[in-house]
Amino acid sequence: MSTSGARVAALDIGATKLAAGLVDRDGAVTRFTVRPTPAGEGVDAAAVRDAVVALLDEVVGGGDEDVVAVACAGPVDAATGTVSPVNIPAWRDFPLVRALERWRPTARVVLHNDVLPLAVAEHRLGAGRGAQALLGLVISTGIGGGLVLAGEPVPGPTGNAGHIGHVPVELDGPRCQCGGRGCVETYASGPSMLAHARQQGWRGADVPELMAAARAGEPVAVATIERAADALAAGILAAAVLCDLDRVVVGGGVAQAGDVVLAPLRRAYHRRAGLEFARRLEIVPAALGPHAGVIGAAALAR
């Protein structure tokens, strides 16, 4: 079946937010809604599923989609259609594709990790245009990535290629929720930064406040972001050397803080990168805003 002209309902499932949109054949988002992802005590797999389905119902109404395109926080298993997002603990081996097939039995469901769609959308329409080897990077509750190499999205056999949050940057570093140690995510995700700043005596409430404090020059906030930027830079350098990257497009809630994160990240990267080919890498902010995930998921599904 050709799906190039199909009506596509697209979902972007993150640990912080759920987004759903209707994407037409030209890639334009005609409807779009965002809700917080259910989290905390008592939230089980069904509760998260119900929130996703309710959001889809709200966005598509009584529509008749041919394709449901899904970007989901990783890891995902594209072969079995199950997901186990590190930062959505209610879902472990959750059969997301089956749940969506039940919601819309006539539709084809296409599943990718959440950052590959962002990378694809930014590469086609946004801050990644013209890049030959692109890493899309999201800094939020978790840290995810997606690769577009030689103009083509690279999902990998299980759909998890580019999962940079779980690249280890310290051999005996802190335990990560993934089971590993010293992962980028244990330094540079929003919750990791908050935890570190609090350990150092900072008393603020949340990540936006931490960013504002850093912008105002508060020393613990500045040092926390520099530590996170250094871990991210080490992870990006690993990816740049392995994949000969020429651009990183950074999106996600934490990255929305802008240069208070991006400037230390660029400095840390250039302090670490020695090889000429790795030093040509540009680190730029995402340009497409909150629609990027659904635009990219729809593009991948077509």
Q: Which residue has the tokens 């803080």?
A: 257
From 180, 204, 285, 290, residue interacting with Zn ion (rule: CB under 5 A)? 180
The piece of 13-21, 151-159, 172-180, 274-282 that touches Zn ion (CB under 5 A) is: 172-180
Nearer residue to Zn ion within complex by CB, 178 or 240 = 178
Nearer residue to Zn ion within complex by CB, 69 or 178 = 178
The piece of 141-149, 153-161, 164-172, 274-282 that touches Zn ion (CB under 5 A) is: 164-172
Contact between 164 and Zn ion by CB under 5 A: the answer reads no
The piece of 28-36, 59-67, 171-179, 277-285 that touches Zn ion (CB under 5 A) is: 171-179
Contact between 213 and Zn ion by CB under 5 A: the answer reads no
Contact between 73 and Zn ion by CB under 5 A: the answer reads no
3-state helix, strand, coil split of the chain in percent (to 5) is: 40, 20, 40
DSSP state at residue 17: E
From 109, 164, 178, 299, residue interacting with Zn ion (rule: CB under 5 A)? 178
Token pair, residue 114, equals 């959440």
Contact between 265 and Zn ion by CB under 5 A: the answer reads no
Identify the CA nearest to 71 among candidates 133, 146, 151: 146
Angle at 106 between CA 54 and CA 3, to 5 degrees: 105
Contact between 214 and Zn ion by CB under 5 A: the answer reads no
Q: Is the dihedral of CA 181, 187, 190, 196 positive or negative?
A: positive
Contact between 183 and Zn ion by CB under 5 A: the answer reads yes
Nearer residue to Zn ion within complex by CB, 167 or 260 = 167
The piece of 12-20, 123-131, 162-170, 286-294 that touches Zn ion (CB under 5 A) is: 162-170
Angle at 62 between CA 24 and CA 32, to 5 degrees: 45
From 176, 255, 261, 294, residue interacting with Zn ion (rule: CB under 5 A)? 176
Q: Are 160 and 111 in contact (CB under 8 A)?
A: no
Contact between 139 and Zn ion by CB under 5 A: the answer reads no
Contact between 15 and Zn ion by CB under 5 A: the answer reads no
**What stretches of the chain show up as alpha helix (H) in DSSP?**
45-60, 96-103, 115-125, 185-188, 190-199, 207-215, 219-243, 259-272, 276-279, 292-301
CA distance 6 to 21: 14
* Local structure of 78: helix, strand or coil: coil
The piece of 31-39, 73-81, 94-102, 176-184 that touches Zn ion (CB under 5 A) is: 176-184
Nearer residue to Zn ion within complex by CB, 27 or 180 = 180
Total residues binding Zn ion (CB under 5 A): 5
Q: Give residues in contact with Zn ion (CB under 5 A).
A: 166, 176, 178, 180, 183
